[in-house]
Amino acid sequence: MEALRLEELNATNVVAANSLTLKPGQEQFVAPVSNSIAEAYVNQNTAWPRVVYSEGELVGFIMANFDEDSTREEFKAIILRMNVAAEAQGRGVGRFAVEQIAAEGRARGSEFLYAMWEPGEDGPDAFFRHLGFEVIEDNEFGEAVGRLALRD
Ligand SMILES: CC(C)(COP(=O)(O)OP(=O)(O)OC[C@H]1O[C@@H](n2cnc3c(N)ncnc32)[C@H](O)[C@@H]1OP(=O)(O)O)[C@@H](O)C(=O)NCCC(=O)NCCS
């Protein structure tokens, strides 16, 4: 297992994060990193944007949302975006990112971690299910809403 490291999105890594490139056809399943960065900027109290480094190279951008006051249960602890660089996919970066977000949720006392994703071939459906997310509903935008228990 290569050494992976999580870092807050900051002035030093923001350009590299914004330059991440997915595999052809995957763009339809996640918003561009630039959109996520803008959303993180205007939702600073709840957004949790982070980058993943592997051997000193930025290989992933993830954004969760933690809002214990949200009236919608899923927004209390949810994965909103995951972008792993095309050449780094399949090496455990996504699993590491989900584990880090789950650890943050546990530290905040969350019972569940949610995720929302676009269904479809080449999308992240099998990835989230493989990591233990159970699809509990399709939301008003046709996205799958998955849930992972954070406590035994
Ligand atoms: C989905 C995504 C984040 C996964 O990241 P990744 O780094 O390639 O995933 P990992 O290598 O950590 O895989 C973790 C596990 O899931 C499994 N997995 C990953 N993708 C899978 C797929 N499409 N089907 C089945 N299993 C899959 C892996 O085999 C691995 O299993 P293991 O740990 O038991 O060996 C990445 O492919 C990506 O950025 N996709 C494009 C954007 C996207 O769809 N983002 C999600 C929107 S929220």
Three-state SS annotation for 72-131? CHHHHEEEEEEEECHHHCCCCHHHHHHHHHHHHHHHCCCCEEEEEECCCCCCCHHHHHHC
Which of the four pLDDT bands, split at 50, 70 and 90, describes residue 77?
Answer: very high
Domains in the chain, ordered, with CATH?
Answer: 4-149 (3.40.630.30)
Instruction: State both tokens at 106.
Output: 């546990």
- Mean pLDDT for 57-63 is 98
- Mean pLDDT for 9-32 is 96
- Mean pLDDT for 61-87 is 97
In this structure, which residue's CA is closest to atom 20 in ligand 1? 127
Euclidean distance between CA atoms 65 and 78, whole angstroms: 5
Which of the four pLDDT bands, split at 50, 70 and 90, describes residue 152?
Answer: confident
What is the pTM for the complete model shown? Answer: 0.96
The Å distance, Cα 46 to ligand 1 centre, comes to 25
* Atom of ligand 1 at shortest range from CA of 89: 8
Segment holding 36, helix H or strand E: helix 33-42
Which of the four pLDDT bands, split at 50, 70 and 90, describes residue 8?
Answer: very high
Residue 2 has pLDDT above 80, yes or no: no
> Residue 97: phi, psi to the nearest 5?
-65, -45
Give pLDDT tens digits for 80-130.
999 999 999 999 999 999 999 999 999 999 999 999 999 999 999 999 999
Closest CA to 7 of 59, 46, 44: 59
Give pLDDT tens digits for 29-56.
999 999 999 999 999 999 999 999 999 9
Q: Is 13 in the pocket of ligand 1 (CB under 6 A)?
A: no
Q: How many residues does the chain have?
A: 152
Q: Is 95 in the pocket of ligand 1 (CB under 6 A)?
A: yes
